[in-house]
Amino acid sequence: MKVVASYNVKGGVGKTTAAVNLAYLASARGRRTLIWDLDPQGAATYLFRVKPKVKGGSAKLVGGARPVEAALKGTDFHGLDLLPADFTYRNMDLDLARSHRKAGKAARALARLLRDLADDYDVVFLDTPPSLSLVSENVLRAADLVLVPIIPTVLALRTFDQLAEFVDTLDRDRPRLHAFFSMADRRKALHREIIADLPRRREGVSPTAIPALSVIEQMAVRRAPLPAYAPNSPAARAFESLWSEIAELLPA
Amino acid sequence: MLNDRRTRGFQQVNYNRPNSVRSSPGFAAVPKDSHPPSLHWRGEPTRGEAEAVLAALEPVTASRYELSVGPRRVRTVTYLDTVDWRLRGKGLVASHERASGPGTLTIDGDGVSGTTRLTELPQWPARVEQLPEGEARDGMASAMWVRAVGPVLRSRAVTREVAVLDDEGKTVVRLDWAEVTGIDPVATPPLVRVSLWPVLGYGRDAKRVRKALRAAEGFADVDGDLYDGLLTAAGIVPEEAAAPAITREMPADVAIATALHGFAGVIAVNVNGVLDDIDTEFLHDLRVAVRRTRSLLKLAGDVLPPRLVARYEPDFKWLGDITTPTRDLDVYLLEFDALTAMLVAGEPDDLAPFGELLRAEREKARRTLARALRSQRFTRLIEGWQAALAEIIDRERSEAELSAEALAGQRVRRMVKKVVRRARSITPESPSESVHDLRKRCKELRYLLEVVKPVCDEAAHRAVIKDLKKVQDILGAFQDGEVQSESLRGFAERLQAGNRRPPAATLLAMGELSAGFVDMQLRARHDLTEALERFLGPATHERIKALLP
Ligand SMILES: Nc1ncnc2c1ncn2[C@@H]1O[C@H](COP(=O)(O)OP(=O)(O)OP(=O)(O)O)[C@@H](O)[C@H]1O
Ligand SMILES: [Mg+2]
């Protein structure tokens, strides 16, 4: 089982959009897939039309009092399940710290929970809230691959560098980083420049850019993954090539 | 509500089984090999028309749900099995489904499920090696054994998937509406069923939906799966047609004629399978019926009109003889891989020329056999024999005749005495002819016991057969060892004499096999002494006494 996190400290950069579409594509390509919506806002959960509710909430879940399996929901898509968000996830940092005395354990609690699902899924996507917290550290440690959506601006690049530095400090659980350009606007010269230049100069930056398109924005209206309602759109193609890259980095 | 927009996520859902590729826990909520709860629809068939299906399912919406119809699908489903229902015996259902293109082959049953997409239309009947490689074949191979599968029933399935949506528009239960009509060998009225596939994490909704449907007028619970329903509707009884059994009160000759008539029936039904070379068991079953016939004629033929017996006995000997070469070669070929695996010194490939010789000889033998089975002699034999027996079975009966039970008692006792006498006389030094003789008598006793089974005490019968079988197995190994090592000599000579001289390695490997067979014979000879001691002990004696009044 491979774990892919969609993560960025910044908000509104396309984390959820990427996690939902890539999870959909992974399952459509035959991988048994789970997506865990760790964001108490529950955007991914909303997109799958599932109610943001986990019985017992974050405390029971991260404390191990309730099995992860009990909270799973089958999505409308074949081979794709969801672990929904719950409003109590906003306390997950506290719950993690509280239920695990040792800091080392608290930082690896999510990884441990995921291990229970190892026989059931080939790949698990983690959709994360924008923050740098104990939850984020858990996510980074649990992940084999961290997908980082970046908007092609200089400032956004700086945050990516900071993340890379932080990940370097992780001892044994160091995930691979894979950044990609999100909401790329071809009409903006700076965007074009960065997209053309950076993947060549910088390791771990995908040559695939997800364009800024209204068909992607429509996901919230349709409440469905993009490739499910616009399979042949250029936007869906872009996510497909992103998934192909990831699939190669994560041999089944 | 008709909402096509929301059907985009539908995968093709099979109407009577879990989609085998659904292996994520999302679908594993239903134990993998169990079927979803199904309900039977008693109303008018809908032909899968959306409006009609939605109208029928209306009770679901009353509480809190909306329905969204998926596409209507039409396909033919051909259910497969061996002539002796081996798959069914193992709780397996094999089917070939197609809409357009060659379709898929699916196996489903206790702990087994698999689907194989076909690249060309399959030909039926097919033996394991003729089936396309894949999950489906793997799932049915051991149950099929050496037998071929062919169509049992062909049906046309019209299905419609309907999603039950909650207030978020999320699918919480999937309903499969299926109307299935038998088309071949008989047309049946449509069976209409709706299956409920729960979605992971929405078990409560599944329960609620099921309850709503069960409470509705048009629906009723069903037992058994769709296949069962279709078989019943088509009047197909999934078991081998049992020949009418003899009864205690039957006059002796009627009883013997009844048993013989049964064997003749077995011969007759297997002929086409032999001619078409569907699988090797057709010939085997035919031969067993011939042996049983001959054995019964020998042991109890005297109760039948002497002219009749005299007329047919030689014919059955002929029939037995003409089938022998093909069967012997079949056995060799069936065992070929096992033989190859026996080699210690030789390499498996060494035997390849031998394998080729076997296949060539078998093909020749089979052609000769086919000619014989198409001959007038055979047709007259089987038809005349069946007619003559039927006449005896239907004859006028009177009170004072020897009963089947009395005859059975008499003949079994006589046969047991013979077997016991021969068994007693066997010592470790006895020549192999005596052992062969014992083997033949045991076989006769076994056949006789099988014929008279219905008039015997059941428990005693089972026990006697079990004892006898142990001895027979050893005697069989003894015989096989001898026959095989001898016939290997013949094969080797023919290989040598052929125009393509075999490599020395082939002959050496055959020599190794031969030594193996001799060894098997020696071991059987050794085991025999002990087995006979047990067989001749007091326990067997008691059981035989209990067998018949
Ligand atoms: N490529 C794109 N083109 C146009 N709109 C996009 C694109 N990617 C994302 N959006 C839109 O931008 C908004 C933010 O995207 P998204 O929710 O995926 O970001 P996020 O990083 O998960 O945000 P948050 O940090 O709030 O969780 C959404 O309304 C989404 O529909
Ligand atoms: Mg988000």
Packing angle, helices A15-28 and A234-249, rounded to 10:
70
Q: Do A77 and B9 touch (CB under 8 A)?
A: yes
Q: What local confidence, expressed as pLDDT, does residue B264 receive?
A: 95
Is A51 in CB contact (< 8 Å) with chain B?
A: yes
Question: Are B194 and B297 part of one and the same domain?
Answer: no
Q: What pLDDT is recorded for position B241?
A: 65
pLDDT (0 to 100) of residue B535: 86
Residue B288 lies in a domain: yes
Ligand 2 centre distance from Cα of residue A57 (Å) = 19
Residue type, A225: P
Q: Per the domain annotation, does B244 fall within a domain?
A: no
pLDDT at B34 (0 to 100):
56
Longest dimension (CA), chain A: 53
Count Cα atoms within 13 angstroms, Cβ side, for B315. 20
| Facing B25 at nearest CB: one of A69, A223, A229 | A69
Q: What is the CATH number of the domain that holds B99?
A: 2.40.320.10
Burial of B356 (0-12, 13-18, 19+ CB in 10 A): middle
- Do A73 and B200 make contact, defined as CB atoms within 8 angstroms? yes
Give every CB contact of residue B542 below 8 A, 6+ residues apart in sequence: none
Q: What is the pLDDT of residue B20?
A: 31
Q: Which residue of B has its CA nearest to A123?
A: B24
Test the A interface: residue of B170, B172, B174, B202 with most A CBs within 10 Å? B170
Residue B241 CA to its chain's centroid (Å): 12
Best A25, A69, A78, A219 member to test B by mutation, with max B CBs in 10 Å, is: A78
Q: How many CA atoms lie within 13 A of B538 on its CB side?
A: 0
Domains detected in chain A = 2-249 (3.40.50.300)
Phi, psi of A86 (to 5 degrees): -145, 150
Residues of B with CB under 8 A from a CB of A: 5-6, 8-9, 11, 19, 21-29, 163, 168-171, 199-202
Low-confidence ranges of chain B (pLDDT < 50): 1-33
Give the number of other Cβ atoms within 10 Å of residue B373's Cβ.
22
Least confident of A48-57, A138-147, B48-57, B77-86: B48-57
How far B19 CA lies from chain A's nearest CA (Å)?
Answer: 10
Cα–Cα distance, B153 to B80 (Å, whole number) = 7
CA B226 to ligand 2 centroid distance, Å? 46
Give the CA angle between residues B3, B6, B10 to the nearest 5°.
120
Q: Which of B203, B234, B265 is the last residue of a domain?
A: B234
3-state SS class at B126: strand
Q: Is residue B449 located within the same domain as residue B493?
A: yes
Residues of A in contact with B199 (CB under 8 A): 73-74
Confirm whether pTM is higher than 0.90.
Answer: no
B270 and B194 in one domain?
Answer: no
Alpha-carbon span B512 to B12, nearest angstrom: 55
Average pLDDT over residues A44-57: 97
**B428 and B497 in one domain?**
yes
CATH number for position B409: 1.40.20.10
Q: Which domain holds residue B172?
A: 19-234
- Output the CA A141–ligand 2 centroid distance in Å: 19
Interval A95-131: pLDDT, tens: 999 988 888 889 999 999 999 999 999 999 999 999 9
Distant-in-sequence, close-in-space partners of B265: CB < 8 Å, separation ≥ 6 = B243, B386
Residue of B nearest to A117 (CA): B25
**What single DSSP character describes residue B429?**
T
Identify whether residues B257 and B405 lie together within a single domain. yes
pLDDT tens string A199-221:
888 889 999 999 999 999 999 99
- What would the two tokens of residue A39 be? 């964001």
B8 within domain boundaries: no
In a domain, B440, yes or no: yes
Q: How many residue contacts between A and B have a Cβ separation below 8 Å?
A: 68
| Inside any domain, residue B388 | yes
Counted domains in chain B: 2
Q: Which residues of B touch A79 (CB under 8 A)?
A: 21-24, 26
Report how far apart, in Å, the C-alpha atoms of B235 and of each of B97, B199, B213, B228 are.
22, 36, 29, 10
Give chain A's mean pLDDT. 94
The b-or-e profile of B445-482 (16+ CB within 10 A means b, else e) is bbbbbebbbbbbeeebbebbbebbeebbebbebbbbbb
Please report the pLDDT score of residue B166 as a whole number.
Answer: 95
Residue B196: which of B4, B33, B16, B44 has the closest Cα? B16
> Is residue B11 in a domain?
no
Instruction: Tell whether B266 and B219 lie within a shared domain.
Output: no
Partner residue facing B23 (CB), from A32, A73, A224: A32
A87, A94, A35, A84: which is closest to A63 by C-alpha? A94
Spatial separation of the C-alpha atoms in residues B457 and B546, rounded to whole Å: 7
